[in-house]
Amino acid sequence: MSYYSIEAEQAVLGAILISPDLIYETTAVEDDFYYEPNQIIYKSMIQLKEEEKKVDVVSLSSNLGEELHVIGGIKYLVELSQSVPSISDFGSYERIVKEKFVIRHGMESIKKIYSNGNDNPKEFISELVGVTEELSDRFRTDDGFTHIGEGLIEHSEILQDKKYGSKPLGVSTVGTDLDLITGKWQNQTLNILAARPSVGKTAAMLNNAVKNGKEGMTVAIFSLEQPKQQLLDRMISAECNIDGSRIKSGQLHDEEWVKYTIGLSILSELNIYIDDRPGLSIQEIRASVRKLKKNNPELIVYIDYLQLINGGKSYTNRNRNDEVGYVSNSLKQMSRENDCPVIALAQLSRGVEQRQDKRPMMSDLRESGNIEQDADTISFLYRDDYYNAGTDKKNIIEIIVAKNREGQTGTAEMVNLRNYSKFLDYDYRPTR
């Protein structure tokens, strides 16, 4: 098998020389080309395009400068323009070049992974998945356009479903007031739920997950911080109304055993999956979600928490903010490619503690990277009784929607029964 096609590369370059406007249609990049002179020529073509200059033999010769002799002089450029069977087949030539790059780069990457001598199967597979995703992104050759007519037909069907159908208008959040503010969690969105440690992020996530499960959703939970038994303790406590400390100790009263048995039968019927492997990479998470989505179309994904996700081996010695930014962007892409909401918990920095008003702000997102840019909604949890023992808002938690790409922002208040890891709607009526 050949890992390159000089003929296809020459046909791509020659077609551009014959019809310079093709430079605006190509999706190729410099290293798609194997033959060094072809790489140099294509790079020069891109430079001319960016400078808004015409791509022809004369301008290329001038732009190449001292590199002109490296590529074989003007003679080679003329030969390129004479070697194209038909410019109408430009897309086919470009596809061959990209196919050869995928095979070539894939083999090189696999050899490199193998030569590193990594005998950890988990890390080895993670690296392979990362290479696969990179190559898949590079191999896209279609333009992705949809005619407005098709889009409007789909829009009409969605609107009809909203008015007359039984299809929900989104996936429920943990509370009624929060639903009203956010418009619920929509497919293809990344939603961030952030707070300082011990404020209630995980409990909110689990309450939400159970609620979604009862509504018929398939729920995927990636718990990078806590083992699944601790999550199950909290879910059972909230569902059965049993104090969490009694579940941990196993010292249940007779009536609590009855509640426990009923709660277990309810929870066991829900389509909830928990992955509590520590140190998961974003590539492993994306692969698991893709697999689960195949047989579960109505899917929602929860991750506890974002800053614990491993960006992969390429980020081992790089800036932490860059890695978190890469993970954040990957989670957004995961929501798009699987047509599902992704809810990621996030830690806030200690900067919150330094202010008089300790309600979180966007700038408090720890190692924020691109989180603020990638997220469709960002919500913060705040408990006044966490900071102020004398507050009159005991067991009241504020969920502050600070960003909402498709709707309003605002604050929803809920009752947080911490002993039961339970969130309840709070029907607040101010006194007059």
DSSP annotation of 171? B
Buried b (16+ CB within 10 A) or exposed e, 230-262: ebebbbbbbbbebbbeebeeeebeeebeebbee
CB atoms within 10 A of CB 297: 10
Q: What is the dihedral of CA 43, 46, 48, 52, to 10 degrees?
A: -170
Average confidence (pLDDT) over 145-157:
59
Please, what CATH class does the domain formed by 169-425 belong to? alpha beta
Q: What is the pLDDT of residue 255?
A: 84
The string of pLDDT tens digits covering residues 284-306 is: 888 789 888 988 989 999 998 88
In whole angstroms, give the CA distance from residue 123 to residue 331: 19
pLDDT at 428 over 50: no
Confidence grade of residue 121 (pLDDT, cut at 50, 70, 90): low
The pair of three-digit structure tokens given for residue 41, joined into one six-digit string: 């020529």
pLDDT at 431 over 50: no
- 118 versus 364: the higher-pLDDT residue is 364
DSSP three-state, residue 200: coil
- 36 versus 123: the higher-pLDDT residue is 36
The string of pLDDT tens digits covering residues 76-101 is: 988 888 878 888 888 888 888 888 88
Rounded to two decimals, what is the model's pTM? 0.67
The CATH code of domain 6-138 reads: 1.10.860.10
Mean residue pLDDT of the chain comes to 82
Average confidence (pLDDT) over 349-361:
81
- 292 versus 27: the higher-pLDDT residue is 292
Q: What is the dihedral of CA 132, 138, 140, 144, to 10 degrees?
A: 110
Confidence grade of residue 394 (pLDDT, cut at 50, 70, 90): confident
Q: Any idea where the domains of the chain sit in the sequence?
A: 6-138, 169-425
pLDDT at 129 over 80: no
In whole angstroms, give the CA distance from residue 119 to residue 114: 9
